[in-house]
Each structure stands twice: as structure tokens, then as C-alpha cells.
């Protein structure tokens, strides 16, 4: 069977070779990249622009961004027909293709985030290693000690001037990281926006729309994860308090959590407004200019994909969370609902771009419907089905857990 | 003894120094960039389809699939034939069942998921067949978007796919406005019509040209002014498909109607 | 110990250097910018030869009359003269060495490619003499009554009588 035939239903006239070749994993790819870029931008808002309110969540989102990082190329690997040849993108890059830059931009970005993390956590690594050096160690402690030693890269100096240098380096890296993060995601938008063969994708607004919605989704996921972890800590501290061990008290934690969430969600709203404005501009423009492709686009947007676009994406994914987060007296519960809906909205936006762009034939005389494989009956449906998508969604949380073993995100002493 | 600071400094310069000649110079040799446009060879393959002559027998598709080893029963093909039936009330019905591998043997139009649409003889205003294949564009958008250099254009204008280098990302499939590309069901790499490159470079014609009983398909060399195909293209009113995409297609059509997509 | 700030850069340097080494090993020597420049000609040169070396299966009708003059004579004045032998007899490949004999496609589906009547007026297809495949002797193979090499009406009748 031809790749794509399994999940494509054709209606009316579709060119014989046309199928939905870009399926769920290509929806996941810009979604995950967006989360990476968004999380990083959030942490940079504190490091570069000095938004003091974001201090608590800045370190958290930086580590989270690094955990998300390997999950951006993951959907691509699951999508490739020849995944073992993935390194050819680095070996013989063809820069007239938007995808060719992926390897290089992605690695540059990875290096920047890793370096920034190193400067943020260097003191912690040194202290961990020194603390474990001159005493008997258990097996896990030996492992920890070895890891910490390696991670110091031999730089043991934690004097004031050395730490000052670290801080300066963090600032520089965070500043350079913002344009690179925007580039990383903007060009994910460019991959779609530059396909002249696809009437729905081809618009110069695509990269900008992608960046805005990326920041929105990144912040939303950071807030959400932050809330989940904070709630966990509150529960633990309540238990500890009962047994007379705990500091700080659950009440302190709760009020601190709500302040952070409220302040961060304001930044989310700014980017959300920007993203919606641009998307609507695009839609209005297409309808007003009504070029050759508008007939088929109209029937896709207003008929075939109406529920996906206007109910799930704009309605549930944009308008409802906008109101939830904007109305005064934000509560944690409302923030959770709001950020979850924002994530749904951004996911649906990716879906409507990737799948929606293939919902009509290049002949403009027929439609294609995507039926996502649910049961993994073959390697193809395993990789490019619900299972593959879930794998991509859950991996960053596992990685985040592992990273925080070496790089704790709460209750740290140092200044940045 | 070299200090650490000095070492770092020198290491950076050395690494940077290695990178520049290895990548930048190789990719952006101005001499080669100059050769990008125009072309100087003695051959530029072009195709001529006379849509007036096509009867939709599908022998071209059958021979193409066998000659180029596209699995015979797979629902993809390097070339195909479309049928257009325009009714008196102004509707256009198009189909290409099994890419026309077995020809058109019924008046019913294949609407895919919508089933077969029967059109009464008295409702038919006009009906015709249009063979399709890769346009071997002068500005191939599929080549432009290949991230690894696995698809490329030869000097004589044919776009080929390197089966050992294609990573199967599908960007070229998305980049083609004509829908000629697909994934090969066995090799799992991008696949497309290449004007039977193994035949035309031996002085033969493509398999589809040889299989067409009606002379609806012809191939020729645009750089040879005496080539009969070139003469037709130069002197008669020919058209190309989707000229608005700026791809400069090199498959020319006689008798193309406005309904053709 | 004084300046540790550049330390991540060394790590980066090592990564970049190892990638360049890998590139030198993995990328074939003939991979580069060829005739059509970087945009359209960035490829492995030897792949062109690989495509040229693909086996030719359809050898055209040019060589057939040498061994099959009788069939060629039959066809000479027939409307089916325009059809390549290989369309019905399959690709020649290395015939007569391999395959020594042919599978001859006598199925109805072969004939109705052209002879299923489509009412498309005065078009080439509309002008071809045709039948309704669902009504015209459904169980029979066309060759039972019609001689494919020279299917003129007179011949059919003779064939049916004899």
C-alpha cells in the first residue's frame, strides 16, 4: 500500500498520486517546536528584560525548554520514510530548502540553551561535587558525584567575580537565544508558508503567526506544569508540616504560586491577542482578494473544517481561555482550565494548517479527508498514529524529571 | 607553555577556520552559481502532448508502470490520463480511475468516496482526455525544497531522484503543484516520472510515447531546431499547465481546454 | 582557571569538528554542485549513471517483423497497425532468450480500453467502433470472433463461419 493511502479518503477528483502525506507527526512538529521556543522566550523575558515577576518561573521554563528540545525533531524522525538517513540533512544541506536549515538552527539553539543552563547551574554542580567529594558515597551518590564533576567541565571557581561572569554570560546567551528561538520557530512557519503549490499555506504571515502562537503555547505549558508541580509541593509541605519538618508553609507557597501564575498569564494574553489578530487578518485578506484558490479554500474553511477552525480553535482554544485569563480574580483552577484550552487552541491551529492544507486537491476539484490511525496495526500506523503522537507528548515530561535530578528548579540559593 | 585562555582562543579560530572553506566555499562557488541559469548543453528534453488525439486507452500508463517498475496494482503512477466531461448545465466532471491504467471503459465518472456518477449521453456538452506526467520544469520547485540534494536536475533538463540519498521527508511531494510525485511503495523514497531517462539517453523514446497508438505523446529536444517536436512547439499555439506558479513547465500541450486542472 | 566562560565553546568546537570529520567520511566524493548550480544541481553525480543504467523492458516493435513476417504482413493493412506489438504481447525484455515465449493478453479488458463505446461525439474516442462491455457477449473473449491483427469486418465473418 502506498504511504498515506491508509488514512486518506478522497472525494471528487484528486490527482492519482495525491494523498495526505504529512500526517499527525507533522502536526506535532510545529507544536513541539513552538513549546520549546515559547518556554525559552518566557525565561528570557526575565534574564534579558529583567521582568522581576517572572524570576521564579524563569529558571523552571529554561530547564523545561531544554527537556522539550529533543522532542522537536522526534516527530520528524517518526515521519521520515528513511529515518536512518536523517543525518544527511547535516551532511549535505541544501539551503534553498527551508528544512535544510533545521539541523543547523536546531543545534545552534540547543547549544545556546545548554550553555545558558551550564552557566545558571555551574555553581550548583560545583557545590554538589564538592559536597560529595570527601565522604563515603552510596552507588547513586557516586553516580551523582561523577555526573556533577563532568558537568563542571573542570571549572571549579565559584568566587564572586567568577559568578558575576556567569551571570553576564547568561544574559548574553538569553539575549542571543531570543532571535534564534524566534528563527527556529519562524522558519517552521516558513516551511509551510513558502510552499507555493499549497494555496492554504502560502502566505508571508505564516512565520509570524507561528512565532506568536509558539510563544502562547510555550507560556501556557510552563504555567500549567508550574501549577502541577507547585500543587505537588504544597501537598508535600502540608504533610511535612503535620510531622513538624516543613518550611515554607503551604499558605506561603499558595500565594506565591498564584502571583506567579497571574503575572505570567498577562504575557500569555499579549501574545494570544497578537496571534489571533494575525490569523484573522490572513483569513479576511484571503476572502477579500478571492484569488483562484478561494473557492476551494472557502469550502474547506467554512464547510469541511468549520468545527475544527471556528469551534475548537477560535472558540474553545482562543476566546474562552482569553476570557478565563482576563477576567479579574484569577484562580488556580481557572488558570489550569485556561492554559489547557490555550494548548488545545494552538494544537488545533497546527492541525488546521497541516491537515487543512491537505484537505483539498491541488487540482482544486476535490477533497481529501484525514482519518488518523488509532490502533497501531503496522509500523506505519504505530509511528504516524495516536501512539506516536502520545509518545512525543509524554517524552518531554520524562526528560524534565530526569533533568531536574541534576538541575533542581525550586528552592535554589543563587541569584539567577 | 600555552595558557588555557590562549588555547581556547586558538581553538575557536581553528574550528572557525576549518568550517569556512569546507562548507561556505564549496556551496557558494561563484563560477558555479553563474552556470545555474541558462545552460549550455546540446540537449534539453521537452514533451508534447496532443490532447486532441488522446482516446484514454491507458496503454501509456500500463507500459510506464511496467517499464519503470512501479508496483502494478499500487494506486500511484508516474503518468496518468484524466477524463473531463463537461455537461450542458456547465458542470465539469473529472476522473482518472487507477490513474487510467486500464483505460476508460465506462461512461460513469469515478467520484472516489462519492461513488460513480452516471452522466446521460444527451447531457454531455464536451468530453476529452488529458495525459499528465512530470513537467521537468525549468524552475523545479520540488528540487528547490529538497533539504539534502537527493533530487536534482540534469544538464538536459530532467529532474531525477537519488534513491540512495532521499530521506523521505515528503517536502518535494508537497512542493509540486502538479501532483506528479509520490512515495515509491517498495523503495520508500520520493518517486516521479523522469522521461524514461534510461531510454532517452540511449536514443530511444519514452515507454509511454512508444505505447501510444495515436501519437498523442511525443518527446523531443528543444535545442535541436530540426526536431519535429521542437518545430511544433515553436510554430504552433501550445500551452502549459499552471503557468502561474512560475515553474516554467517543459511539457507542452496542444488542445488544452480551460477546464483542465 | 581564570576564564571559564569559553569552556562551553570548546565543547561546541569538538562537536562541530566531529561533524566535519563525519561529513568527510559519509558524503561521497562526487557529491557537489553540478551543471544546474547549487539550487537545482546539488547532487551525487554518479546517480545520473545509475538512472541511465536502468534496464530497458519495452524494446518497441522495430525488431518483431524480422522473425514474425507473417504477423507483420497481417498487420500491414490493418487499423491495428498503429498499436505497438508490446501493448498486447508484453515487454520484449531479452526475447527470444528471456522470455522465450510470450504471455499473450487476450482478455476483454485489453480490447475495451479503446472499444468500450463512449458517446463523446465527434472526438477520436467517439469515432472508434465500440461496444457496451456489459451487454456484448459478456462471457466471450473478444478473440473468439475478432482477429486482433486484422479485425476488419469481413475477416470476422469468415472466422465465425469456419
pLDDT > 90? residue B112: yes
The cell numbers describing A8, all together, are 486518506
Predicted TM-score (pTM) of the model is 0.89
Q: At what angle do helices A160-193 and A206-242 cross, to 10 degrees?
A: 130
Of all residues in chain B, the one with the smallest CA distance to A357 is: B174
Question: Domain count of chain B?
Answer: 1
Closest CA to B190 of B156, B147, B154, B157: B147
CA–CA separation, C108 and C127 (whole Å)? 20
B-contacting residues in A 157-176 (Cβ below 8 Å): none
Q: Where does the pLDDT of residue A294 fall: very low under 50, low under 70, confident under 90, or very high at 90 and above? A: very high
Q: Report d(CA B42, CA C35) in Å as an integer.
A: 13
The C-alpha cell that represents A65 in the structure block: 525548554
Three cell numbers at C85? 506489438
Residue B14: pLDDT band by 50, 70, 90 thresholds?
low
CA closest to B112 among chain A residues: A11
User: Cell numbers of B131, please?
Assistant: 495525459
Contact B207, C78 (CB under 8 A): no
CATH code: domain of residue B217:
3.30.70.20
Q: Please state whether the peptide bond connecting residue A378 to the residue before it is cis, i.e. omega within 30 degrees of 0.
A: no
Closest CA to C85 of C99, C100, C65: C65
Closest residue in chain C to residue A117, using alpha carbons only: C8
| Kind plus residue range of the DSSP H or E element containing A216 | helix A206-242
d(CA C136, CA B171) in angstroms, rounded, equals: 48
For the stretch A317-335, pLDDT in tens is 999 999 999 998 889 999 9
**Residues 102-121 (A) with a CB less than 8 A from some CB of B:** 102
Per the prediction, chain B carries an average pLDDT of 90
Q: Please name the chains neighbouring A, where neighbouring means 3+ C-beta pairs under 8 angstroms.
A: B, C
> What are the helix (H) ranges across A134-198?
139-151, 160-193
- Give the pLDDT mean for A170-183: 88
When mean pLDDT is compared across A347-356, B22-31, B210-219, the lowest value belongs to B22-31
Range 341-360 of A in CB contact (< 8 A) with B: none
CB atoms within 10 A of CB B152: 28
Contact B174 A195 (CB under 8 A): yes
Cα separation of A414 and A203, whole Å? 46
ipTM of this predicted structure:
0.89
DSSP letter string, A340-398: HHHHHHHHHHHHHHHTGGGSB-TTSSEEEEE----S--SHHHHHTSHHHHHHHHHHHHH
- Identify the residue among B14, B152, B196 best suited for mutation to test binding to C, counting C beta carbons within 10 A and taking the highest: B152
Q: How confident is the model at residue C155 (pLDDT cuts 50, 70, 90)?
A: low
Considering CB atoms only, which of C8, C22, C42 is closest to A115?
C8
Distance CA A192, CA A351 (A): 13
pLDDT at A246: 56
CB pairs under 8 A between A and C: 43
Name B152's bridge partners.
B160
The answer for residues whose C-beta is within 8 angstroms of residue A184's C-beta and 6 or more apart is: A33, A36, A37, A105, A106, A109
B201 closest CB neighbour out of C7, C9, C52: C52
Percent of chain A with pLDDT over 70: 97
**C99-111 pLDDT per residue, tens:** 888 778 889 999 9
With respect to residue B67, please indicate whether it lies within any of the assigned structural domains.
yes
Residues 51-110 of B with CB under 8 A from A: 74-77, 80, 82, 92-96, 98-99
**Rounded to 5 degrees, what angle do the CA atoms B27, B30, B36 make?**
85
**Per-residue confidence at C153, pLDDT binned at 50, 70, 90?**
low
- pLDDT for C154 equals 57
Three-state DSSP string of B144-162:
HCCCCCCEEECCCCCEEEC
Q: Which of A306-310, A345-349, B204-208, C155-159 has the lowest mean pLDDT?
A: C155-159
- CA distance linking residue B137 with residue A115, whole number of Å: 46
Contact B76 A17 (CB under 8 A): yes
Is A330 in contact with A261 (CB distance < 8 Å)?
Answer: yes
pLDDT value of position A135: 84
Question: Are B102 and C83 inside 8 Å of each other by CB?
Answer: no
Count CB-CB contacts under 10 A for residue A340: 16
Contacting residues for C3 by C-beta, under 8 A, at least 6 apart: A165, B4, B5, B8
A85 to chain C, any CB pair closer than 8 A? The answer is no
Range of the domain at B238: 45-74+194-254
Determine, yes or no, domain membership for B205: yes
Provide, as residue numbers in chain B, all residues whose Cβ is less than 8 Å from the Cβ of A14.
112
Give tens-digit pLDDT for B128-151.
999 999 999 999 999 999 999 999
What is the reported pLDDT for A95? Answer: 92
User: Within a domain: residue B50?
Assistant: yes
- The closest CB to that of A111, out of C12, C26, C42, belongs to C12
**B156, B162, B167, B173 alpha-carbon torsion, rounded to 10°:** 40
pLDDT at B68: 97
Window 32-91 of A: residues touching B by CB (8 A cutoff) are 76, 79-83, 85-86, 88-89, 91
**Average pLDDT for B248-254:** 97
The single residue listed with the C-alpha cell 525549468 is B138
> Which B positions 118-147 lie with beta carbon below 8 A of chain A?
132, 141, 144-147
Cα separation, A309 vs A355, whole angstroms: 12
pLDDT band at C162 (very low <50, low <70, confident <90, very high): very low
Give residue A413's pLDDT band: very low, low, confident or very high (50, 70, 90). low
In eight-state DSSP terms, residue A197 is T
Angle at alpha carbon of residue B119, lines to B118 and B125, rounded to 5°: 160
Among B189, B221, B217, residue whose Cα is nearest residue B63: B217
If residue C33 lies in a helix (H) or strand (E), which one and from where to where? Answer: strand C31-33
| A241-250, A258-267, B237-246, C31-40, range with the lowest pLDDT | A241-250
Whether B250 maps to a domain, the answer reads yes
Asked if A397 reaches chain B (Cβ–Cβ under 8 Å), the answer is: no
Q: Which distant-in-sequence residues (6+ apart) come within 8 Å of B55 by Cβ?
A: B129, B214, B216, C114, C123, C124, C125, C128
Q: Considering only CB atoms, which chain C residues are within 8 Å of B55?
A: 114, 123-125, 128
What pLDDT was estimated at residue A415?
A: 47
Q: What are phi and psi of A166, to 5 degrees?
A: -55, -45
Contact B106 C7 (CB under 8 A): no
Question: Is the Cβ of A84 closer than 8 Å to some Cβ of chain C?
Answer: no
A18 vs A2: CA distance, rounded Å: 10
Chains touching B, CB cut-off 8 Å, 3+ pairs: A, C
Identify which of A13, A81, A364 has the shortest CB distance to residue B168.
Answer: A81
Of A397-411, B177-191, B240-254, least confident by mean pLDDT is A397-411
C22/A91 touch (CB, cutoff 8 Å), yes or no? yes
Q: Is C36 on the interface with B (CB under 8 A)?
A: yes
Interface contact B76-A13, CB threshold 8 A: no
Nearest Cα residue to A223 out of A334, A318, A73: A334
Least confident of A84-93, B4-13, C21-30: B4-13
Cell numbers describing residue A117: 543552563
Q: Identify the weakest region by mean pLDDT among B3-7, B84-88, B155-159.
A: B3-7
Task: Count CB atoms within 10 A of the CB of residue C145.
Answer: 14
d(CA B51, CA B230): 17
The shortest CB-CB distance from B146 to any of A15, A86, A97 is to: A97
User: Does the residue B206 lie in any domain?
Assistant: yes
Model confidence pLDDT, tens digit, residues A14-59: 999 999 999 999 999 999 988 888 888 888 888 888 777 777 788 8
Nearest chain A Cα distance for residue B80, angstroms: 8
Mean pLDDT highest for which of A38-52, A120-134, B10-24, B142-156? B142-156
Task: Tell me the residues of chain B between 154 and 173 that have a Cβ less than 8 Å away from chain C.
Answer: 154-155, 160, 162, 164-165
Sheet with strand B80-87: strands edge to edge: B92-95, B80-87, B124-132
Q: Cis check for the bond before A335: say yes or no (omega within 30 of 0).
A: no
Say yes or no to pLDDT of A344 above 90.
yes
C8 touches chain B (CB under 8 A): no
Q: What average pLDDT does the segment B8-22 reach?
A: 57
Nearest to B129 by CA among B222, B256, B252: B256
Amino acid at each position: 500500500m502506498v504511504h498515506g493511502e491508509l488514512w486518506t479518503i478522497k472525494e471528487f477528483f484528486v490527482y492519482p498520486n495525491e494523498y495526505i502525506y504529512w500526517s499527525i507527526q507533522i502536526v506535532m512538529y510545529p507544536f513541539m517546536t513552538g513549546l520549546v521556543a515559547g518556554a525559552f522566550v518566557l525565561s528570557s523575558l526575565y534574564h534579558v528584560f529583567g521582568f522581576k515577576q517572572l524570576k521564579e518561573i524563569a529558571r523552571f521554563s529554561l530547564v523545561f525548554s531544554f527537556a522539550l528540545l529533543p522532542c522537536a525533531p522526534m516527530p520528524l524522525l517518526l515521519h521520515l520514510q528513511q529515518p536512518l538517513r536523517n543525518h544527511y540533512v547535516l551532511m549535505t544541506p541544501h539551503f534553498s530548502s527551508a528544512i535544510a536549515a533545521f539541523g543547523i538552527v536546531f543545534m545552534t539553539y540547543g547549544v545556546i540553551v545548554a550553555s545558558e543552563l551550564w552557566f545558571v547551574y555551574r555553581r550548583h554542580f560545583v557545590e554538589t561535587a564538592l559536597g560529595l567529594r570527601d565522604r563515603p558515597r552510596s552507588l547513586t551518590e557516586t553516580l551523582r558525584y561523577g555526573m556533577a564533576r563532568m558537568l563542571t567541565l573542570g571549572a571549579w571557581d565559584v568566587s564572586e567575580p567568577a559568578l558575576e561572569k556567569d551571570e553576564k554570560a547568561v544574559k548574553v546567551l538569553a539575549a542571543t537565544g531570543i532571535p534564534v528561538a524566534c528563527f527556529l520557530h519562524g522558519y517552521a512557519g516558513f516551511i509551510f508558508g513558502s510552499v507555493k503549490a499549497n494555496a492554504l499555506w502560502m502566505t508571508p504571515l505564516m512565520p509570524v503567526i507561528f512565532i506568536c502562537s509558539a510563544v502562547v503555547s510555550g507560556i501556557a505549558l510552563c504555567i500549567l506544569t508550574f501549577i502541577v508541580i507547585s500543587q505537588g509541593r504544597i501537598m508535600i509541605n502540608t504533610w511535612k508540616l503535620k510531622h513538624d519538618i516543613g518550611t515554607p508553609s503551604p499558605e506561603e507557597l499558595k500565594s506565591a504560586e498564584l502571583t506567579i501564575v497571574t503575572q505570567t498569564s498577562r504575557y500569555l494574553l499579549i501574545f494570544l491577542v497578537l496571534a489571533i489578530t494575525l490569523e484573522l487578518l490572513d483569513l479576511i485578506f484571503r476572502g477579500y482578494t478571492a484569488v483562484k484558490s478561494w473557492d476551494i479554500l472557502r469550502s474547506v474553511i467554512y464547510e469541511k473544517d468549520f468545527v475544527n477552525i471556528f469551534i475548537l480553535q477560535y472558540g474553545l482554544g482562543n476566546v474562552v481561555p482569553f476570557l478565563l485569563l482576563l477576567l479579574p480574580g484569577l484562580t488556580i483552577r481557572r488558570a489550569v482550565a485556561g492554559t489547557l484550552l490555550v494548548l488545545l487552541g494552538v494544537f488545533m491551529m497546527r492541525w488546521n494548517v497541516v491537515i487543512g492544507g491537505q484537505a483539498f486537491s491541488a487540482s482544486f476539484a476535490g477533497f481529501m479527508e484525514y482519518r488518523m490511525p488509532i490502533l497501531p496495526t503496522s509500523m506505519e500506523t504505530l509511528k504516524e498514529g495516536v501512539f506516536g503522537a502520545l509518545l512525543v507528548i509524554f517524552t518531554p515530561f520524562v526528560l524534565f524529571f530526569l533533568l531536574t535530578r541534576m538541575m533542581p528548579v525550586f528552592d535554589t540559593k543563587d541569584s539567577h | 607553555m600555552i595558557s588555557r585562555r590562549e588555547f581556547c582562543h586558538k581553538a575557536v579560530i581553528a574550528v572557525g577556520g576549518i568550517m569556512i572553506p569546507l562548507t561556505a566555499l564549496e556551496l557558494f562557488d561563484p563560477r558555479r552559481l553563474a552556470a545555474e541559469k541558462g545552460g549550455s548543453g546540446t540537449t534539453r528534453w521537452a514533451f508534447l502532448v496532443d490532447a486532441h488525439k488522446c482516446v484514454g486507452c491507458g496503454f501509456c500508463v500500463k507500459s510506464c508502470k511496467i517499464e519503470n517498475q512501479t508496483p502494478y496494482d499500487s494506486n500511484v503512477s508516474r503518468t496518468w490520463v484524466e477524463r473531463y466531461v463537461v455537461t450542458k448545465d456547465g458542470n465539469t466532471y473529472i476522473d482518472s480511475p487507477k490513474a487510467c491504467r486500464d483505460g476508460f471503459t465506462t461512461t460513469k465518472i469515478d467520484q472516489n468516496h462519492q461513488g460513480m456518477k452516471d452522466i446521460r449521453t444527451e447531457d454531455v456538452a464536451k468530453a476529452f482526455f488529458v495525459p499528465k506526467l512530470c513537467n521537468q520544469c525549468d524552475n523545479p520547485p520540488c528540487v528547490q525544497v529538497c533539504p539534502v540534494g537527493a533530487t536534482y536536475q540534469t544538464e538536459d533538463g530532467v529532474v531525477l531522484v537519488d534513491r540512495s540519498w532521499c530521506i523521505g521527508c515528503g517536502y518535494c511531494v508537497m512542493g509540486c503543484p502538479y501532483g506528479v510525485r509520490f512515495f515509491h511503495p517498495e523503495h520508500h523514497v520520493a518517486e516521479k516520472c523522469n522521461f524514461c531517462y534510461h531510454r532517452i539517453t540511449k536514443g530511444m523514446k519514452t515507454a509511454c510515447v512508444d505505447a501510444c497508438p495515436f501519437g498523442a505523446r511525443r518527446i523531443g529536444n528543444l535545442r535541436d531546431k530540426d526536431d519535429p517536436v521542437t518545430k511544433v512547439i515553436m510554430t504552433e499555439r501550445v500551452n502549459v499547465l499552471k503557468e502561474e506558479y512560475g515553474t516554467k513547465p517543459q511539457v507542452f500541450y496542444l488542445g488544452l481546454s480551460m477546464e483542465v486542472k | 582557571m581564570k576564564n571559564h566562560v569559553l569552556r562551553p565553546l570548546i565543547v561546541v568546537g569538538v562537536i562541530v569538528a566531529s561533524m566535519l570529520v563525519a561529513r568527510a567520511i559519509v558524503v561521497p566524493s562526487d557529491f557537489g554542485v553540478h551543471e544546474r548550480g547549487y539550487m537545482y544541481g546539488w547532487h551525487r553525480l554518479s546517480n545520473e549513471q545509475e538512472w541511465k543504467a536502468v534496464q530497458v523492458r519495452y524494446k518497441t516493435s522495430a525488431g518483431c517483423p524480422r522473425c514474425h513476417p507473417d504477423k507483420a504482413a497481417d498487420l500491414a493493412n490493418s487499423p491495428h497497425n498503429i498499436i505497438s506489438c508490446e501493448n498486447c504481447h508484453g515487454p520484449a525484455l531479452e526475447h527470444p532468450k528471456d522470455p522465450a515465449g510470450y504471455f499473450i493478453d487476450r482478455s476483454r479488458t485489453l480490447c475495451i480500453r479503446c472499444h468500450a463505446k463512449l458517446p463523446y461525439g465527434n472526438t477520436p474516442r467517439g469515432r472508434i467502433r465500440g461496444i457496451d462491455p456489459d451487454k456484448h457477449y459478456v462471457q466471450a473473449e473478444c478473440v473468439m470472433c475478432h482477429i486482433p491483427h486484422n479485425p476488419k469486418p469481413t475477416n470476422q465473418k469468415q472466422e465465425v463461419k469456419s
